[in-house]
Amino acid sequence: MKRKIFYLLGILSGVLSAIVIPLDIIGEKTAPNIWIYANVSFVVGSLISVLIVFFLLVPIKGKPLGKYVDPNFTRIKFISGKAFKQIVLMAFGNTIASLGYFYVLYAFSDPSAILPFMQAAVAYIILCEIFTEKDSPTISELHAISSILFGALLASMSPSGNIDVLGLIIVLTLVNGGTTIVALSQRKVRSVVVDARRYDSINIRLWYLLLTTLMFLVVTYIMNPSYVLEMFKIGNEVIIIVVVSMTITFFAKVTYIRAVGMGKASIVQAVSSVSAILGIPITILSNLLSPGYFVEISTNVWILIIKVIGAVLVAMGIILLALSEVRAIVLIRIRAGASPRGILESLSKIRGVIRVSAVTGKYDYVVQVKLRTLGKAYGLIASELDKIKGVEDYIWLSTLYEWEEI
């Protein structure tokens, strides 16, 4: 059940973000300048987010409406301390990614051909995880990463059969780099527990967007003050496009953050990368609905076939990653006289350990473990347990099935 909802949220987030791209293309063509459009997007987006959050405060059957979106939601909460630092990092990552995104939207003839490469960010996140684990990647991880990267490359082919190298580089460095920062710090915010509760996705999204807007306005003001000042002269049609686009984005992000709270960031990113596949039908559809705004769809069957092959490769990489994850519960007994506090700390420092509980009873600790592959169980967990002084005995219980109330 949990798994189904997790995947559903991931896919929904991908679908929603894919719909936003053609909307932004139309908006950018309607507005006088891309950076004015970007600023209007952020400011209107922030206003909409604040409005939506107030709407989510409305109580229904004694519970605020937002509780149905995220059970952790209770009220508007300032994010403080350790979590605030992560929110600032998220906003910083998003500012960089957005600068890249809007530039690609403006500078290249067919952005919907290059933007699917944003999905390759998942490969960056895994590489970061591998790097922090100081561990060599397994062959299946290499397989998945290369499948996603090559797949996205093929799917990015433009109708004329070219791949826009400069556009790709911008997406690969600015957009994906920023996205990776956002995804990694997002997970850290979610893991901060205050009063036995985690921060909810609605508050995270709200504060993160407000901070991003502030940073983005500052950056564009430095580029050219008129980008900020001329925002107020913008036409109504642009405002309407922005309102629709930002409302969809808000829900795309909430579903995304919600999914990240339930599972590994890399897998959420992987699942939501269905938008890479959706890029093709959505461009065709938007071309039919509003012709003139988009590049002609290629009538060359071979280019379409190559794009479909690319999309399938991305999907295969995603499935490979999602299926190889392993979870286990390790029960530990300690020797009499060993320091429980010290052991609790040593256990929580082991990579792959997601939760350590000191318990009463036959065993002293219940440790929850999550690994990308079972092959890492010895190197990461078992050999580390052997090193901790005071651990007398442990049993490894591999999880075969899991359900969680959400």
Which 3 state secondary structure label does DSSP give 261? helix
Whose Cβ is closer to other proteins: residue 167's or residue 261's?
A: 261
Q: How far is the CB of 224 from other proteins (least distance, A)?
A: 43
Binding site for other proteins (CB under 8 A): 1, 187, 191, 193, 196, 327-329, 331, 344-345, 347-349, 353-363, 366, 370, 395-405
Rounded least distance, CB 345 to other proteins, Å? 8
Q: Which is nearer to other proteins, 35 or 394 (CB)?
A: 394
As measured in angstroms, the least distance from the Cβ of 313 to other proteins is: 30
The count of other CB atoms within 10 Å of the CB of residue 352 is 21
> What DSSP state is assigned to residue 375?
G
> Within the chain, what is the greatest distance between any pair of CA atoms?
77
Residue whose CB is less far from other proteins, 105 or 332: 332
C-alpha torsion sign, points 197, 201, 202, 207: positive
Q: Are the beta carbons of 398 and 326 closer than 8 angstroms? A: yes
**Closer by beta carbon to other proteins, 164 or else 364:** 364
CB closer to other proteins, 231 vs 353: 353
92-to-97, 105, 112 alpha-carbon distances in Å: 9, 20, 24
Smallest gap from residue 334 Cβ to other proteins (A): 13
Helix (H) or strand (E) holding 67: helix 66-69
Please, what is the minimum distance in Å from the beta carbon of residue 241 to other proteins?
39
29 neighbors 47 (Cβ within 8 angstroms): no
Q: Looking at beta carbons only, is 232 or 403 nearer to other proteins? A: 403
Q: Which two tokens stand for residue 99?
A: 């600068």
Question: Least separation, in Å, of the C-beta of 253 and other proteins?
Answer: 20
Report in angstroms how near the CB of residue 61 gets to other proteins at its nearest: 17
3-state secondary structure of 333: strand
**Secondary structure element (H or E) that encloses residue 319, with its range:** helix 301-323
| Rounded least distance, CB 359 to other proteins, Å | 4
DSSP category for residue 230: G
Of 302 and 401, which CB lies nearer to other proteins in the complex structure? Answer: 401
Alpha-carbon dihedral sign for residues 6, 7, 10, 16: negative
Of 42 and 394, which CB lies nearer to other proteins in the complex structure? 394
- Cα separation of 363 and 6, whole Å? 32
Q: Which is nearer to other proteins, 190 or 307 (CB)?
A: 190
| DSSP conformation letters of 7-47 | HHHHHHHHHHHHHHHHHHHHHHHHSS-HHHHHHHHHHHHHH
Quote the least distance from Cβ 212 to other proteins, whole Å: 25
The phi and psi torsions of 64 (rounded to 5 degrees) equal -65, 145
Torsion on CA atoms 240, 52, 66, 405, rounded to nearest 10? 40
